[in-house]
């Protein structure tokens, strides 16, 4: 298959040159040898003919390359993108002891570890309390997460972030995820509390909106007691799950389970045409090498 098949018309030139090389009648020289047997010279004639045919064959290879030979490449697999928005609670209660550090420290450490499982995805980071702040926009560069850890610590008592309003933060992150037309959508909520804006059926309404937008929510309840029913509804009605880790190891395992439950999809690509120059380039280089070697002695003697 060729990208420019009309260029194959140039093959007429080397064919004419080959025809002329093997059919011409000139160039014969008789060398007298005393008492020498008379040979036919067919072998020498054949070797010289092959040597003189090499430029024509090189021209034929050049014509084929100009015609842009192509082949069907094997279909490639493509990893489907997932947009993952982390919603992290930085209310005052996140300063409580958890493992060797605080709940906030353990959460951010587990999130950073989770990023290594999901190379190729896009990640966004939102901190929330009574308000929310989209601190890291959706990006495939996870280094921004590691830089964010010391600046939004709950110990800093940032104004407007002392309480907990989960519903407001989740709806704010919904707008971020729906702004991306490409890829799947996932939200990971990390909190140790409960908020009144999920009561009176608000949890179900928010979950329905997330479900319609194709957003799956996973909730990590990082406290001593199990998550309340409203948070459970918020996660499970979207196809997600709620986790209640009681130590740092269990917290790390939570993100492993999230990765297993929301495996990245592999899309099968279609076979595409690609250039197929290699065999013709190799043939051309071999012919050129033979032509150079032939010029060292295998040619007509011009006398």
Q: Which of 175, 174, 167, 241 is nearest to 203 (CA)?
A: 167
248, pLDDT greater than 50: yes
Long-range contacts of 210-215 (CB under 8 A, 24+ apart): 210/170, 210/174, 210/238, 211/237, 211/238, 211/239, 213/174, 213/177, 213/178, 213/185, 214/184, 214/185, 215/174, 215/177, 215/178, 215/185, 215/186, 215/187
98-131, pLDDT tens digit by residue? 888 899 989 988 888 888 777 778 889 999 998 9
Which of 13-22, 72-81, 268-277 shows the lowest per-residue confidence on average (mean pLDDT)? Answer: 72-81
Q: How high is the mean pLDDT of the chain?
A: 83
Do the beta carbons of residue 280 and residue 61 sit within 8 Å? yes
Report percent pLDDT > 90 for the chain.
Answer: 26
Distance CA 46, CA 37 (A): 20
The CA–CA distances, whole Å, from 34 to 14, 37, 38, 157, 161 equal 41, 9, 10, 114, 113
Domain coordinates in residue numbering, the chain: 5-73+273-294, 79-266
What integer pLDDT is reported at residue 183 of this predicted model? 80
Nearest to 222 by CA among 102, 113, 132, 100: 102
pLDDT at 301 over 60: no
- pLDDT digit string (tens) for 74-101? 666 555 778 999 999 998 889 899 888 8
**Alpha carbon of 6 to those of 56, 69, 203, 278: distances in Å?**
19, 12, 67, 21
Amino acid 53: pLDDT: 86
Q: What is the pLDDT of residue 89?
A: 92
234 compared with 272, residue with greater pLDDT: 234
Over residues 189-228, the pLDDT tens digits come to 999 888 888 999 999 999 999 999 999 999 999 888 888 8
* pLDDT at site 303: 45
pLDDT in tens, 152-166: 888 887 887 888 899
CATH number of this structure's domain 79-266 = 3.40.50.410
pLDDT confidence bin for 300, thresholds 50/70/90: low
Do residues 188 and 145 make contact, with C-beta atoms less than 8 angstroms apart? Answer: no
Range 226-247 average pLDDT: 90
The answer to whether 61 and 290 have CB atoms below 8 angstroms apart is no
pTM of structure? 0.63
* Residue 104 · residue 154 · CB < 8 Å: yes
């Amino acid at each position: 298959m060729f990208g420019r098949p009309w260029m194959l018309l140039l093959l007429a030139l080397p064919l004419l040159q080959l025809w002329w090389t093997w059919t011409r009648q000139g160039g014969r020289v008789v060398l007298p040898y005393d008492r020498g047997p008379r040979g036919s010279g067919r072998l020498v004639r054949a070797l010289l003919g092959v040597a003189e045919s090499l430029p024509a064959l090189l021209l034929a290879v050049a014509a084929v390359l100009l015609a842009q030979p192509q082949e069907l490449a094997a279909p490639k697999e493509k990893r489907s993108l997932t947009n993952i928005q982390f919603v992290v609670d930085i209310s005052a209660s996140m300063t409580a002891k958890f493992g060797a550090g605080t709940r906030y420290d353990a959460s951010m450490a587990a999130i950073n570890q989770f990023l290594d499982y999901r190379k190729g995805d896009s990640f966004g980071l939102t901190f929330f309390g009574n308000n929310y702040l989209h601190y890291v926009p959706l990006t495939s560069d996870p280094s921004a997460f590691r830089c964010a850890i010391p600046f939004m610590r709950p110990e800093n008592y940032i104004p407007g972030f002392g309480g907990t309003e989960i519903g407001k933060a989740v709806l704010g992150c919904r707008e971020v995820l729906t702004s991306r037309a490409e890829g799947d959508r996932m939200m990971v909520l990390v909190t140790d509390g409960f908020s009144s804006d999920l009561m009176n059926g608000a949890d179900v309404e928010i979950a329905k909106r997330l479900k319609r937008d194709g957003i799956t929510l996973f909730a990590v309840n990082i406290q001593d007691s199990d998550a309340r029913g409203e948070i459970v509804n918020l996660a499970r009605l979207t196809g997600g799950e709620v986790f209640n880790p009681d130590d740092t190891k269990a917290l790390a395992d939570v993100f492993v389970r999230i990765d297993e439950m929301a495996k990245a999809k592999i899309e099968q690509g279609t076979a595409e045409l690609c250039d197929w120059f290699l065999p013709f380039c190799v043939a051309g280089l071999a012919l050129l090498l033979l032509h150079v070697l032939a010029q060292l002695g295998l040619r007509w003697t011009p006398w």
